[in-house]
Structures are given as C-alpha cells and as structure tokens.
C-alpha cells in the first residue's frame, strides 16, 4: 500500500496529466467549455494533493494545509459536476450553491473548531464530493445521454467517497478505528478513482469530438442544414427505420444569381441562410432538410397524405418573401418547388430526379409556384 506521501504525489502527477490533456483538447480541437471545466477540475485536484504533500513535509502548517486541501477537493468535484451539467445543457446554480455552502462550512469548522477539526473536515468534504457525483449520475438521459457504464462507474466512485467519509468518522479521537485504518481506506481508491475518472472524461471528450466531426462532415457550412451527402445518408436511415415512403421536395430560389450579382455575395449568403432556416423551422419530426448545392435545397416530408404534403409546401412558399423585408433587395425573394411521392421501391437519386423535373416545370410555369406530381413513379 502506498504511503500518504507517495499516494498524494501520484495523484498530483495523474491529475496534472489529465488536466493538461483536457486543456490541449479544448484549445486545439475547439471543444466546448465543459472540456476546459474538466481540465480545471483535475488541476484543482493536483493543487489539493500538492497541499497535502506540503502538510506532510511541514507539520507545523498541517492544519492550514488540511483546510486548503479540503477546499481543493470540493472545488475539483464541483468542477467535474459543473462540466457534466454544462455538457448536458443544464444550469450551474445547484453546483455553485453546494460548492459555496460547503466551502463556507469548512472555513467555519476550521476557524471555530467546535469539535475535532480533522474528523469534521474529512466528513464534510467526503459528503460534498459524493453529492457532486450524485448530481452527475442524476442527469436525465433525455437531456444528454451518459452511457450506462459511465453512470455505474461514477456510482461506484461515489460510494467509495462515502466510505472515506464513514472511515473518517470512525477514526475520530476515541473512535472505532485508528488513523492508520483511515489512511488505508483513503489510499485504497483515491489514485484509482482519479485515473478512472480522467480516462472516462477523455473518452467522453473523444466521443464528442468524433460526433462533432461527423456532424461537420454531414452539414453544409453556410446554411447549417445537411449537405447532399448527409441528406442522402440520413434519408436512407430514416426510410429503413420507417419502412415506408414519403414525399420528396426540390426547392430553388428564384433569380438568385441576379440578387447575388446586384447585392454582393454577403447578401446572397444571408438570403440562403434565411431560406435554409425557414425550411428547417418548418420541418416536423421525421422530416429532413438538405442543401444540394448553390441555391437548391431538398426536403423529405414524412407526411401521412399527399394533401398534407402539398399544404405544407405551399405554406413554406407563401411565407418566404416576408423573411427578407428588412433587406434592401431589388426584387422580392421567392422560390419554386417540385413535389413528388417518394415510393418505397425508389432510391434517393430516382425520387430526387423526379422532384427536380417537377421543380423545372414550376420554373417554366413562371416561378414562385409548386408543381406536384404525386402519381406513382413509372
């Protein structure tokens, strides 16, 4: 079993490694702030165990070192919980309130010492750290899924932290166990728990990074909707799951080249972005929106009937000009639409080609129209 000094030094080294790795991931890969918060969590852990080392080497300052180490431990687990909740899109007041109240309690216990300070600080710190782990495990699956294996590992880690608090209480002056037994319990799982938590957070960061790269590969950089490749892949998955057809829409902005030439590419890009957002906001569960290139978009509608599909497309077309009232454009912004039934036996390319033919017919008919060809594909 590692001595307290060796155990603390090992935790400092491990914490610094994971803190540095998470900071590099955050900076180099443009990850969201939860990666930086987790990095600060491990750096706080390194500070806490570094202070413990100082307390062992400088016995005259052991009480102050113990108090500061408790604060660092609470800060480390608070930041860990804050990072997970930030990743899930949840607010942080619960974490901050628990962090502030427990830190204040530790200071009061250290200053007033109404009873044995060492035992009280250990128990308060363990209970608080376990509460932060509970806040992570309790994140609803519907908000941002945490894998079952991660929940189980964190639950076991939280139970271990509680056992440290119980051991601290039992090791009080005149208690059921001695100081050596408490040090044994503390050293038993602290390095392992820190290493395990670090590996798990790095796995989460890597998985999120892979998901972000996949999203970027599937999405159009300008409009934010799916690009052609992503649209085709998603529609294959959607139709495979549903086991049925739907409706394919081909949409194209009218006279977009004239807008681009007269107003410039920045205005043209804004016109495309608003059109994409308009199509995306009109989508319902089961629908898909993608930019096929230039000013042309595709929409997959999972409607129950042809009448509903046509009504939704017409609503999109009718509302379009009002989206650009604040832009000084030389002409109203309109779009032409082609609508066809997406037969279960068709490939995407076949259905989209027919929708494109209907779109071309709407252009020939004067633009700003919807041409529907809802008979079965030949």
State the CATH number of the domain containing residue 281: 3.30.70.270
- Which of 176, 199, 218 delimits the end of a domain? 218
Strand order in the sheet with 335-342: 288-293, 296-301, 246-253, 335-342, 370-373
More confident residue, 10 or 234: 234
Mean of all residue pLDDT scores within the chain: 86
Both 118 and 238 in one domain: the answer is no
Spell out the residues 6+ positions from residue 247 whose beta carbon is closer than 8 angstroms to its own: 300, 301, 302, 303, 306, 309, 339, 340, 341, 342, 374
Q: What's the full length of the chain, in residues?
A: 378
Beta-bridge partners for 342: 246
- DSSP string for residues in 89-112: T--SHHHHHHHHHHHHHHHHHHHH
Both 281 and 204 in one domain: the answer is no
| Pair of tokens at residue 70 | 């408790």
Both 285 and 369 in one domain: the answer is yes
| Number of domains composing the chain | 2
Q: What percent of the chain has pLDDT over 90?
A: 39
Which structural domain, as residue segments, surrounds residue 243? Answer: 228-373
Give residue 12's pLDDT band: very low, low, confident or very high (50, 70, 90).
confident
Give residue 10's pLDDT band: very low, low, confident or very high (50, 70, 90).
confident
More confident residue, 121 or 186: 121
Contacts 24+ apart (CB under 8 A), 102-109: 102/74, 102/128, 103/71, 103/74, 103/75, 106/67, 106/70, 106/71, 106/74, 107/67
Contacts 24+ apart (CB under 8 A), 242-246: 242/286, 242/302, 243/344, 244/344, 245/341, 245/342, 245/343, 245/344, 245/346, 246/286, 246/300, 246/301, 246/302, 246/303, 246/342
Residue 318 has what pLDDT?
A: 94
At residue 15, does pLDDT exceed 90? Answer: no
Q: What is the pTM of this model?
A: 0.68
Residue 223 domain-assigned (yes or no): no
Both 190 and 141 in one domain: the answer is yes
| CB count in 10 Å sphere of residue 141 | 11
Both 86 and 180 in one domain: the answer is yes
Residue 257 domain-assigned (yes or no): yes
Both 237 and 366 in one domain: the answer is yes
Residue 250 domain-assigned (yes or no): yes
Both 139 and 165 in one domain: the answer is yes
Residue 369 has what pLDDT?
A: 94
Q: Is 133 exposed, middle or buried (0-12, 13-18, 19+ CB in 10 A)?
A: buried
Residue 214 has what pLDDT?
A: 75
Q: What is the DSSP letter of 219?
A: B
Residue 329 domain-assigned (yes or no): yes
Q: From CA 280, how far away is CA 276, in angstroms rounded? A: 6
More confident residue, 321 or 217: 321
Averaged pLDDT, 54-61: 74
């Amino acid at each position: 079993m590692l001595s307290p000094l060796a155990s603390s030094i090992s935790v400092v080294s491990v914490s610094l490694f994971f803190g540095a790795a998470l900071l590099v991931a955050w900076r180099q890969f443009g990850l969201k702030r939860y990666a930086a918060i987790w990095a600060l969590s491990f750096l706080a852990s390194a500070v806490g165990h570094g202070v413990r080392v100082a307390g062992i080497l400088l016995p005259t300052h052991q009480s102050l070192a113990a108090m500061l180490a408790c604060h660092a431990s609470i800060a480390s687990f608070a930041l860990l919980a804050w990072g997970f909740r930030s990743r899930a899109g949840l607010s942080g007041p619960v974490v901050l309130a628990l962090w502030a109240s427990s830190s204040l309690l530790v200071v009061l216990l250290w200053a007033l010492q109404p009873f044995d300070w060492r035992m009280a600080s250990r128990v308060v710190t363990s209970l608080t750290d376990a509460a932060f782990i509970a806040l992570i495990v309790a994140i609803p699956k519907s908000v941002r899924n945490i894998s079952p294996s991660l929940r189980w590992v964190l639950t076991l880690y939280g139970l271990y932290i509680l056992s440290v608090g119980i051991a601290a209480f039992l090791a009080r002056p005149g208690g059921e166990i001695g100081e050596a037994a408490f040090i044994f319990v503390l050293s038993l799982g602290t390095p392992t728990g820190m290493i395990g938590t670090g590996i798990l957070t790095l796995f989460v960061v890597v998985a999120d990074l892979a998901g972000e790269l996949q999203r970027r590969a599937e999405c159009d950089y300008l409009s934010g909707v799916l690009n052609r490749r992503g649209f085709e892949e998603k529609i294959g998955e959607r139709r495979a799951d549903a086991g049925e057809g739907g409706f394919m829409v081909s949409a194209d902005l009218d006279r977009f080249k004239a807008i681009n030439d007269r107003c410039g590419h920045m205005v043209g890009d804004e016109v495309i972005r608003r059109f994409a957002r308009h199509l995306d906001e009109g989508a319902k569960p089961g629908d898909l929106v993608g930019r096929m290139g230039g000013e042309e978009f595709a929409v997959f509608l999972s409607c129950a009937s042809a009448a509903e599909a046509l009504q939704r497309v017409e609503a999109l077309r009718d509302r379009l000009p009002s989206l650009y009232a604040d832009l000084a454009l030389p002409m109203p912004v309109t779009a032409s639409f082609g609508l066809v039934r997406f037969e279960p036996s068709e490939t995407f390319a076949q259905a989209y080609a027919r929708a494109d033919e209907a779109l071309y017919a709407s252009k020939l008919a004067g633009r700003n129209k919807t041409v529907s060809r809802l008979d079965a594909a030949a």
